[in-house]
C-alpha cells in the first residue's frame, strides 16, 4: 500500500525537485561510470589557505542563474556562499575554482552540516535544496543540522563554467543527441565536440579538471570550511558515487553517508549502462501493461507487442520532427528522452501514455513537455540540468571505448531494451563522445574497492528503480560494509521524494542518531 506523504500536497517546487532528480539519473546513461582514486599529489598540508576560509553567508539572489531559480532562491530562509578550491590539486598555488553553496540553517542548535548532491553529473545541489525546502522544514533533520547543497564544478553559479552549447542550440537539437549512445558517428564529430567544449569552457585546464576525483576533494574542503570534523552526506544517483568515493578516500573523516539510488560499484561503465537500459525496458513493460487495461490503449491490447507499437508511433519523427504549438519541434531523440524521463516514477506513467496518444494523433505538445521536464527546461528557455558538464565529468572519469566497442554497446542496448531498437539508435557505427578529449581519463575500473575502516553507512535502494537497479544498491551496501534499506516501488529516489514516512523515518534516524536499520529493513512507496 502506498504510504501517505508528510505534506498535504505536492508544491510546484517539489514537482521541480522530483523532475530534477529523475533527470539526474538519466544523465548517468549519457556517460560512463567513474572510478575513485587516491588523492593527488597536493596534500592537505598544501591546502591551508583553502581550509581556513570562512564562508560569507548572505542572501541567494546572486546565486541564481535563471529566472526560475531567482524565484526559488529569493526565500529568506536560505543563505548562500562560495568556497574557493584549487582548480588543479596538483597545483594548489595556481588558479582557483569557486563552489556555490546554499544552506538552510538549523532551526535549533546546530550539530553540523548535511552536505547534499542530487546527482548527474549536471545536477544542482543549490536548486535541489531550494526546491525541496518545504520537506526539509517539515522534517526533523533541519532542526539539528544545516542543510547544505552544493553545485559541483561547472554547474549553476560555480566557476569555471563548462559550456559546449547554448540553450538555444539545445532547443534546436544542434547538439550531440542521445539515444542508446550519442549520435557521434565520426572522428571529426568527436574532435568538434572537444574543441567546442574547450573553447566554451575557457581552456583545457578548466575542462579537464572537472572530473569526480576533484569533486571529491572539493567535498573535503567544504567539510572543513563548514566546520565539520567529519562528513554527514546525502547523495542521490551519481551523488552516490561521490559519497562512496569520498568514503574510500577519507574513511576516517566520515560520520554518516546516505546513498539513495546507488550506482552499482561492481560493474564496468558499459555493464552499468546496459543494466540501466534493461531497467528502463522493465518499467516500459510495466507501463504497457497498465496501458493495456484501457480498451483504447495507444500501445495496443497486448503488452508483448508494445515495443513494435512504440516504433510505429515514433518512426515518422526520424525523418520529419513534429511541430508544436510554440513553434519548436520534437525529434525522435526528444521523444525518447521524454518517454524515458516519464518512466522514472510510476506516478508519471499516465502522462507518457497521454503524450504518446496525442503524438500519434499529430499533437506533439505533451511529448515536448516531457522532454523539457527531462532537461529541467524552464518557461524562459533556461536549461536547469547541465549536459555539457555531464560530458566533461564523464570524459575525465572513465576509460574510453573504441569505435568498435561503442558500436557493439549500441547493439547490445538494442537487445536488452528493444524499445530503443530503432536503426537510428543502434544500427550505425559510433564513436565515443570522449574520443578526442584533450586529456586522458584519470581513473580505471572498477571504481570502488578495498574500503576499510569505514563507519556504518546506509544505502537506500528501490526494487523497481528504472536506471540504478536494486542489484546495484545491494552491491554498494556490501562494498561499503553498510546497511541496506530495501524499498518496494517503481521510482528513482526514495528519501523525501517518495512520499514514504517509512523511508523518511529510517533515514532520519540514521542521519540524526546514527541508528542503522535491521538487516531485513523494508519499506514501500
The verdict on whether 488 is a catalytic residue reads no
> Got the DSSP string for 27-68?
HHHHS---------S--GGGGHHHHT-----B-SGGG--SHH
Q: Exactly one of 66, 190, 212, 237 is catalytic; name it.
A: 237
Which of 362-396 are b and which e, b meaning 16 or more Cβ less than 10 Å from the residue's Cβ?
Answer: ebbbbbbbbbbbbbbbbeeeebbbbbbbbbbbbbb
Q: Are 197 and 396 in contact (CB under 8 A)?
A: no
Dihedral angle sign, alpha carbons of residues 430, 376, 389, 279: negative
Distance CA 62, CA 301 (A): 53
Q: What is the pLDDT of residues 348-404, one digit of tens each?
A: 999 999 999 999 999 999 999 999 999 999 999 999 989 999 999 999 998 999 999
Q: Are 486 and 522 in contact (CB under 8 A)?
A: yes
The verdict on whether 171 is a catalytic residue reads no
Q: Exactly one of 492, 500, 504, 516 is catalytic; name it.
A: 492
The percent of residues above 90 in pLDDT, for the chain, comes to: 88
* Domains of the chain, each with CATH number or no CATH: 12-146+203-268+445-524 (3.40.50.1820)
The verdict on whether 508 is a catalytic residue reads no
Residue 296, CA distances (Å) to 207, 299, 366 in order: 50, 9, 18
Q: Exactly one of 151, 397, 465, 504 is catalytic; name it.
A: 465
pTM of the predicted model as reported, rounded to 2 decimal places? 0.92
Q: What is the pLDDT of residues 386-399, one digit of tens each?
A: 999 999 999 999 89
Residue 412 pLDDT > 70, yes or no? yes
Confidence class of residue 443 from pLDDT cuts 50, 70 and 90?
confident
Amino acid at each position: 500500500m502506498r504510504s501517505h506523504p508528510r505534506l498535504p500536497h505536492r508544491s510546484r517546487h517539489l514537482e521541480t525537485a522530483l523532475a530534477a532528480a529523475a533527470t539526474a539519473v538519466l544523465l548517468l546513461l549519457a556517460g560512463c561510470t567513474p572510478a575513485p582514486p587516491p588523492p593527488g599529489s597536493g596534500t592537505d598540508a598544501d591546502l591551508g589557505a583553502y581550509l581556513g576560509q570562512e564562508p560569507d553567508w548572505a542572501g541567494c539572489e546572486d546565486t541564481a542563474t535563471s529566472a526560475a531559480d531567482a524565484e526559488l532562491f529569493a526565500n529568506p530562509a536560505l543563505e548562500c556562499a562560495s568556497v574557493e578550491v584549487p582548480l588543479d590539486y596538483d597545483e594548489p598555488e595556481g588558479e582557483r575554482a569557486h563552489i556555490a553553496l546554499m544552506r538552510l540553517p538549523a532551526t535549533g542548535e546546530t550539530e553540523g552540516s548535511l552536505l547534499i548532491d542530487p546527482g548527474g553529473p549536471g545536477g544542482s545541489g543549490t536548486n535541489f535544496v531550494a526546491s525541496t525546502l518545504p520537506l526539509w522544514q517539515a522534517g526533523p533533520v533541519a532542526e539539528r543540522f544545516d542543510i547544505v547543497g552544493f553545485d559541483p564544478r561547472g554547474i549553476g553559479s560555480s566557476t569555471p563554467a563548462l559550456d559546449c552549447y547554448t540553450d538555444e542550440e539545445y532547443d534546436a537539437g544542434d547538439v550531440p543527441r542521445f539515444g542508446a549512445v550519442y549520435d557521434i558517428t565520426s572522428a571529426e564529430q568527436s574532435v568538434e565536440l572537444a574543441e567546442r567544449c574547450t573553447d566554451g569552457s575557457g581552456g583545457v585546464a578548466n575542462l579537464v579538471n572537472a572530473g569526480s576525483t576533484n569533486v571529491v576533494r572539493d567535498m573535503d574542503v567544504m567539510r572543513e570550511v563548514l566546520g565539520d570534523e567529519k562528513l554527514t552526506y546525502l547523495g542521490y544517483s551519481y551523488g552516490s558515487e561521490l559519497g562512496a568515493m569520498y568514503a574510500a578516500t577519507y574513511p576516517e573523516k566520515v560520520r554518516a553517508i546516505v546513498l539513495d539510488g546507488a550506482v552499482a560499484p561492481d560493474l564496468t561503465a558499459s555493464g552499468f549502462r546496459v543494466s540501466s537500459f534493461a531497467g528502463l525496458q522493465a518499467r516500459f513493460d510495466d507501463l504497457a501493461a497498465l496501458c493495456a487495461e484501457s480498451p483504447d490503449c495507444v500501445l495496443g491490447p497486448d503488452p508483448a507487442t508494445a515495443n513494435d507499437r512504440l516504433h510505429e508511433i515514433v518512426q515518422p519523427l526520424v525523418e520529419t520532427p513534429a511541430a508544436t504549438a510554440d513553434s519548436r519541434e520534437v525529434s525522435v531523440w526528444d521523444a525518447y528522452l521524454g518517454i524515458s524521463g516519464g518512466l522514472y516514477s510510476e506516478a508519471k506513467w499516465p502522462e507518457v501514455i497521454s503524450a504518446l496518444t496525442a503524438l500519434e494523433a499529430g499533437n506533439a505538445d505533451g511529448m515536448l513537455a516531457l522532454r523539457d521536464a527531462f532537461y529541467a527546461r524552464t518557461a524562459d528557455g533556461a536549461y536547469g540540468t547541465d549536459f555539457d558538464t555531464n560530458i566533461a565529468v564523464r570524459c575525465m572519469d572513465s576509460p574510453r571505448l573504441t569505435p568498435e566497442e561503442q558500436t557493439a554497446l549500441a547493439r547490445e542496448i538494442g537487445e536488452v531494451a528493444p524499445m530503443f531498437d530503432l536503426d537510428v539508435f543502434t544500427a550505425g557505427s559510433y564513436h565515443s563522445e570522449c574520443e578526442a578529449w584533450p586529456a586522458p581519463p584519470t581513473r580505471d575500473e572498477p571504481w570502488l574497492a578495498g574500503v576499510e575502516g569505514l563507519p556504518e553507512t546506509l544505502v537506500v535502494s528501490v526494487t523497481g528503480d528504472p536506471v540504478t537497479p536494486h542489484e546495484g544498491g545491494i552491491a554498494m551496501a556490501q562494498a561499503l560494509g553498510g546497511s541496506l534499506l530495501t524499498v518496494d516501488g517503481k521510482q528513482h529516489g526514495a528519501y523525501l521524494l517518495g512520499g514514504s514516512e517509512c523511508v523518511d523515518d529510517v533515514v532520519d534516524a540514521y542521519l540524526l542518531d546514527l541508528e542503522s536499520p535491521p538487516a531485513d529493513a523494508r519499506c514501500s512507496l
